Homo-oligomer: A and B are copies of this chain.
Amino acid sequence: MQADFAELTSKLASGDTRALARAITLVENEQPGFARLLESLDVKNTPVIGFTGAPGAGKSSLVNAVVDHLEREGKKIAVLMIDPSSPFNRGAFLGDRLRMAGHFLSQNVFMRSMATRGSMGGLAPKVFEVADVLKAAPYDYILIETVGIGQSETEIAALADTTVLVLTPEAGDDIQTSKSGVMEIADIYVVNKADREGADTMYRNLAELSHRHATTNWEIPVIKTVATQDKGIDLLLDAIAAHMKTNHLPARRLRLLAAKAGMMIRALKTRNLDDARIEEALKAATDEPDFNLYRFVKTFAG
């Protein structure tokens, strides 16, 4: 088994996409030994670009166009599409996948979709692990696309080095009423479908918003694109490259890593604490005449 993983790890590290797909499936489904596989990976600092935004904003077309550009530069790209498993989005998502089908033939582009439970805190842990498997493979960029509903928007930002928020000229209300914090977590704003009416107003509003919230490190650039016509993609790639060069990235990565490690350590420390076991111990303890819950807890926690 151990030897098996060594082979799998070295194969995926050398660019074998079958090995990569197998490793992801293993981790995604928590098949036996998946934890050991993760421990054996050589996880590199592959740049991760996240794309988020409301359904219909054109995220998939934009990712598609970005992949095209990077591929032409001779880069190898892995794309992870997060499917929040909502019945409302499945149709559109399948459509998006078909639109990306052109890349399936390319040796330099690996694509994988991933269903997530979509429930509270559901996205992060598994996506994190799958992203780590991708980082152990020889890709120049990892692109993560998520349908922006609720929490997943902010969770993707916790995963990506650079988060691109994709908006349309009509998204004015979204910005005004945004409560999910997505405007705050984005590193780059894109006004996609910028050939539509209202694009300039949208652009100005975003630029003003961005300027108001600028830090010494970074003022969120606003990029106009028409992804389906391949317009504005160069500017977007420049903005991404500029953001990747800012000096706050190592600190952000460390913070992100610490948050993830904390989550994992807490889970490990409380692993065998199922309520059935606690209930069993309590049942005996409550028979004692001087039972006290607070003392019980202290003793049980050791």
Taking Cβ atoms with an 8 Å cutoff, the residues of A that contact B are 35, 38-43, 132, 254-255, 257-262, 264-266, 268-270, 273, 275, 278-279, 282-283, 286, 290, 292-298, 300-301
Contact = CB atoms under 8 A, between A and B. Distances in A.
Contact of A286 (B254, B259, B268, B293): B254
A268 B269 CA distance: 10
B254 A39 contact: no
A269 B270 CA distance: 7
A36 to B, nearest CB: 9
Given A261-B296, A268-B298, 19 more contacts: A39-B292, A39-B295, A41-B294, A42-B290, A43-B292, A132-B293, A254-B279, A254-B283, A259-B275, A262-B275, A262-B278, A264-B294, A264-B297, A264-B301, A265-B273, A265-B278, A265-B297, A269-B269, A270-B270
Contacts of A262: 273, 275, 278
A interface SS class: helix
Nearest to A295: B39
Number of copies: 2
B254 A294 contact: no
A258 B273 contact: no
B273 A257 contact: no
Contacts of A257: 279, 282, 286, 293
Contacts of A43: 292-293
Contacts of A301: 264-265, 268-269
B258 A279 contact: yes
25 contacts: A39-B295, A39-B298, A41-B294, A43-B293, A254-B286, A255-B275, A255-B279, A257-B279, A257-B286, A257-B293, A258-B275, A258-B279, A259-B275, A260-B293, A261-B296, A261-B300, A262-B275, A262-B278, A264-B293, A264-B297, A265-B270, A265-B273, A266-B266, A266-B273, A269-B273
